[in-house]
Structure 1
Amino acid sequence: MAKGELDADSVFLSNLAVLMDSKKKKYKLRTVTGRMAANALSLDGNPPLADPEKLLTENQDDKWYQHRGSFSNHMIAIHMDRFTGKPHHYLPAESFHAELPNERSYPFADSLTIPLEYRLLALTKFQGMADYLFPHKYLTDRNLDSVVLEMIPAFISCASRTEYEILLLKLSASLNDTHSSPFSRQVKNRAAIFRNGFIPPFDYQVFDEGIVITDTIIGKTCAAAGLKRGDLITHINAVPVKKIIDTLASLISVSNHSTLLYRLSAMSTNFMWRSSVPDFTLTVNGSAHRVRFTSSKDPDYEQLVNYIRRQLQPPVTPQPEITSDGIAIFRSEQFASMYENVDDTLIDRHIDSLLALAANQKAIIFDMRKFIDWGGLLYTYVPRYFAAAPHHFADYYMINRNRLGTYVRKWQPDTYLADSLAYRNKPYKGKVVILTGPGTLSQTEWNTMSLQKLFPQAVTIGTPSAGADGDEKIMNLPGGYKLPFTGNAIFYPDGTPAQRKGVKVDRLIPRTPASVLKADAVMEAAIGYIIE
């Protein structure tokens, strides 16, 4: 199967009958995986690696099939042989490729319940992904093998498309991986699952103890309800905010709790406000406030939409901001704007001129709190300008094709920095500050690690990052769904993982109900450090 001579899904589906014990009416899903298992992944049968210290083996755990009980050898074989062998029909050609090849999506009409055999195929594909393609199985809060076992009855009894989507969301959430968070956007029955069709007339930030109103957008509505900026909402329709957070945590995948609160604070997703009617009762300081939320049919809807758009699309600046204090500020979401209107033949000279401008300031701030829109600045231009030689800032582990379920360090220099750079060796002597937060995700975390090494004097200030470094992979699941997940493992050279923990932060700025009412508490702390 790994060679593509047999289609793994077809083999699974044709052997599904073995899973049912007709007398006891009991499914033995783990019979889905077998004889090929012990043979294909026998550690003794694999060639030794030249550098065993650079092998990540924490994920490899074969106990579930070694103590298979009701598992048949035949079906264990189907599970194991899918990803073992060459030329790896189901593995991407390059470690940084996202799409897993030759994985069919099995689209069904949105109104249809996914047939039983395809529901069980989805669960089995998830198990295979967790075993052989997800390098952080050992870091999850719950044992993923146990999660799959416990969900078998639910996948069998599932009676609707909505139930199936809830089960997929729970599987995704069990990964504890912020890369998987966008999966919540794919569900067809989002309104029925999240019941979040009504938008509040105010902006907000979510905390375990409550929701802080940070801006009153529809002023007249907020005033009529007696709501103002700074109010702390502790209950929504008599349900404690913490209980709503816990419910959503079982459906939305995040690497750490601070990232969960950050994502629940986004008006664009609107997860917190769960109701089938627009009239909400919000508890503030023990008092109930009745407020009508906005739907797409209301006249105030366009005002809210425009507000959200402005949040998502910040103003574009063609060069770093230079403050009156002599501080150059680069913002990760605006890197691409530095070259967008520049002729291709002049880009190198133009970017160097911007870096020279920054180098003449007394301090540089790299604001990395939003997803980076152009990696080239920190992959090529910044190290070329300031560094004397390549700097070892991370260890990147990719799928080990000689021993599936383990991961091997990628040594190629161009994984880390652009190859054959003509280093200018212009070390910067001023202060350097790197800002981080839950929006520091994936490539932005990777580039942050590079900056931390490139500038030895750099101080990282902010809150924990998203904790999902490494390239994303995407697994197709029956029903036309695409489950994203972290497919490579990233570590600092000292062995500290970036997954779940995020990048290292020197000065944590606590995110509190009071701090979110400031214009920008993290930037304020950075400037304070520079001028101290």
Structure 2
Amino acid sequence: MRSLSIIILFLVSFTSLSAQSISETQKLASLCKIWGFLKYYHPNVAKGNFNWDQQLSQKINELEKINDKAQLNELYSLWIDSLGNVEECAKCALAEPKTEFLKNFDLSWIDQDNLYTKEVSQKLHYIQNNRNIEEPYYFGISERKVFFRNENSYSTRFTSTSISLLELFRYWNLVEYFFPYKYKTDQNWNDVLTEMIPKFLNSTDDVQYHLTLAELVTKTDDSHAFLFSPLISLNQYGRRKIPVEYSYAEGKLVITKIKNIQYQEEIPLKIGDVIYSVDGKTIPQMVNSFEKYIPASNSWGKIKKVKSLFLFSNKDSLELRLQREGQNISIKAKTYLPRDIISEKKALPEKWKFIDPEKKIGYVNMGIIERDNLEEMYRNLRTAESIIFDLRNYPKQTIIPLSRLILPENSIYYRFNFPDGKYPGKFYSRKNSIGLHNPDYYKGNVVILADENTQSQAETTTMMLKQHPRSKVIGSYTSGANGDVITFNIAGLKTSFTGIGAYYPNGMETQRTGIIPDIYIQPTVKGLQEGKDEVLERALEYIKTGK
């Protein structure tokens, strides 16, 4: 019996000891969250009274001596106390009436009893309830959009593990508190932190550091996101290219133009060639190989971003498998530096025009028409029975004046979610209306052309035009990145993500899904070889037949 009691006591003690032990990743993840929380919530920290990056570096060093939960919480408790007194905030509970959006808001980690003692959890909740509501030091709100300030962006070079962790923690918390679509990422944002910590710890040179940063940014699953790194472009994608232009369809590349080069050398490709393999990889395999480091909201948004990279390389030539006049052939195509490829000025297409002899169908290129051109365009095209608005591009801030010409009434066309500057992590919703009461509105058919190039402002413009009583969207799914952009630096590199949430009036997302066309059609290989615009042709068919 005595032996059994000893065994039970040993097992209980061992279990208790094991429960208190904390891994390196757990320690660093908890530090990231507390550092970010205090940065935006603690009144003395949020006002910029401390060198907060320096404080993080100190705590990273101190964590090396921490082995268990008790030591960890002693460190945090003393740290919080050292930041000064937090006075009770009567105004914190008196929020102005707003429609709150809370899908992103999550401070439940404060109550993780496997990491934090009740004492530390209570201190954090007290700070939450008495948070800073005065002008913050590290961010501001302008026209309801957040911007970041007073952040030190350190060297683009790998200098130390401590600095690389700081950049990880900074970026993770920016997304945690200010990215409106955090809840839509494929991977839970907390899991992203625990996955990326070991990768940042193992990054020991410049290229690996940049690739790890790019992988982190890609975890946002946002087509607005990017990381501008010349090192990645040079090492991952290459700076030489085959001097051709091409379009993408059905998982293949169709050559549409052969470019001139500085040398008297023949390019072994022809217009109409269909490339299906580059250096032994199919085009879909190449898309997948870019997936880890290029953020996008969905698969078609990914293709939009990577399709310009397919024929880049650091090698002198690429092995291509292609179809030519019904035959499968292999060729070796030489690559050239950009300076060796002669650039040609392209004539700008017309901003608007009639595209039929009877002048019954108008066409507007939304990528080039300016606000100042809209009145003249409408005077010319208003007699048309149908107007096609081509939004397979990026418009030039024409949405509001165009709505006043086209729409019959003021209507709610979108709901936007804006960051709550007095409660980081929370957002609030406002419904946006557009158009005016306009008896003289356009009475014909409004046809919108859309595809993966229809992104952000183009998606919002599409939704405005959808308010017309005789509208139809024709094409394929849009990019699924809507709601303005926040641009900032991380590790000295330019980056960004979506800054405002944008939704249908009923709350349904366009982010990641994109706008679903009423009539679905994509370009085909055959159509591209024949020089057709199959999306436009389908629009003309709809106008002619009504279906």
Contact 1:207/1:261 (CA < 8 Å) preserved in 2? Answer: no
Query: Which structure 1 residue ranges, 5 or more long, are not aligned?
Result: 340-349
Residues in 1 aligned to 2:443 and 2:406: alpha-carbon distance in whole angstroms: 10
Contact 2:476/2:516 (CA < 8 Å) preserved in 1? Answer: no
RMSD: 3.6
Matches within 5 A, 1:170-189: 170-181=215-226, 183=227, 186-189=228-231
Matches within 5 A, 1:126-165: 126-165=171-210
Contact 1:210/1:234 (CA < 8 Å) preserved in 2? Answer: yes
Structure 2 CA distance for partners of 1:49 and 1:233, relative to 1, 3 Å: same
State yes or no: 1:293 paired with 2:305.
Answer: no
Contact 2:413/2:505 (CA < 8 Å) preserved in 1? Answer: yes
Residues in 2 aligned to 1:259 and 1:391: alpha-carbon distance in whole angstroms: 29
Alignment match, 2:316: 278
Alignment match, 1:438: 452
Q: Which amino acid aligns with 1:50?
A: P
**Percent identity between the two aligned chains:** 22
Provide the secondary structure at the position in 2 that maps to 1:459: strand
Q: Which amino acid aligns with 1:277?
A: K
Following superposition, the deviation at residue 383 of structure 1 comes to 2.7
Provide the secondary structure at the position in 2 that maps to 1:393: strand
2:159 aligns with one of 97, 103, 114: 114
Residues in 2 aligned to 1:531 and 1:126: alpha-carbon distance in whole angstroms: 52
Following superposition, the deviation at residue 510 of structure 1 comes to 2.7
Q: Which amino acid aligns with 1:275?
A: S
Alignment match, 1:329: 363
Alignment match, 1:344: none
Bigger shift: 139-148 or 234-243?
234-243
Alignment match, 2:419: 399
Residues in 1 aligned to 2:505 and 2:405: alpha-carbon distance in whole angstroms: 23
Provide the secondary structure at the position in 2 that maps to 1:432: strand
State yes or no: 1:499 paired with 2:519.
Answer: no
Query: What TM-score do you get using the length of structure 2 for normalisation?
Result: 0.77
Q: Which amino acid aligns with 2:391?
A: M
Structure 2 CA distance for partners of 1:277 and 1:387, relative to 1, 3 Å: closer
Provide the secondary structure at the position in 1 that maps to 2:455: coil
Bigger shift: 171-180 or 195-204?
195-204
Alignment match, 1:468: 481
Alignment match, 1:483: 495
* TM-superposition CA deviations, 1:49-79 (whole Å, max 9, x none): 635xx322111233444337457959x969x
Provide the secondary structure at the position in 2 that maps to 1:321: strand
1:450 aligns with one of 460, 464, 468: 464
Alignment match, 2:97: 50
1:409 aligns with one of 410, 426, 429: 429
Contact 2:253/2:276 (CA < 8 Å) preserved in 1? Answer: yes
Structure 2 CA distance for partners of 1:280 and 1:405, relative to 1, 3 Å: same
Residues in 1 aligned to 2:533 and 2:262: alpha-carbon distance in whole angstroms: 26
Query: Which structure 2 residue ranges, 5 or more long, are not aligned?
Result: 1-44
Provide the secondary structure at the position in 1 that maps to 2:187: coil
Matches within 5 A, 1:27-38: none
Following superposition, the deviation at residue 177 of structure 1 comes to 0.6
* TM-superposition CA deviations, 1:83-113 (whole Å, max 9, x none): 964323333322454642222323x2x5x42
Residues in 2 aligned to 1:353 and 1:206: alpha-carbon distance in whole angstroms: 35
Q: Which amino acid aligns with 1:501?
A: T
Structure 2 CA distance for partners of 1:372 and 1:32, relative to 1, 3 Å: farther
Contact 1:262/1:438 (CA < 8 Å) preserved in 2? Answer: yes
Bigger shift: 199-208 or 113-122?
199-208
1:66 aligns with one of 111, 115, 122: 111
Following superposition, the deviation at residue 449 of structure 1 comes to 1.0
Query: What TM-score do you get using the length of structure 1 for normalisation?
Result: 0.79
Following superposition, the deviation at residue 123 of structure 1 comes to 0.7
Residues in 2 aligned to 1:436 and 1:32: alpha-carbon distance in whole angstroms: 52
Contact 1:65/1:71 (CA < 8 Å) preserved in 2? Answer: yes
Number of residues of Structure 1 aligned to a counterpart in Structure 2: 476
Q: Which amino acid aligns with 1:333?
A: G
Following superposition, the deviation at residue 46 of structure 1 comes to 4.7
Alignment match, 1:378: 399
Q: Which amino acid aligns with 2:421?
A: R
Alignment match, 1:237: 279
State yes or no: 1:205 paired with 2:258.
Answer: no
Alignment match, 1:90: 138
Provide the secondary structure at the position in 1 that maps to 2:313: coil
Residues in 2 aligned to 1:204 and 1:143: alpha-carbon distance in whole angstroms: 37
Alignment match, 2:536: 523
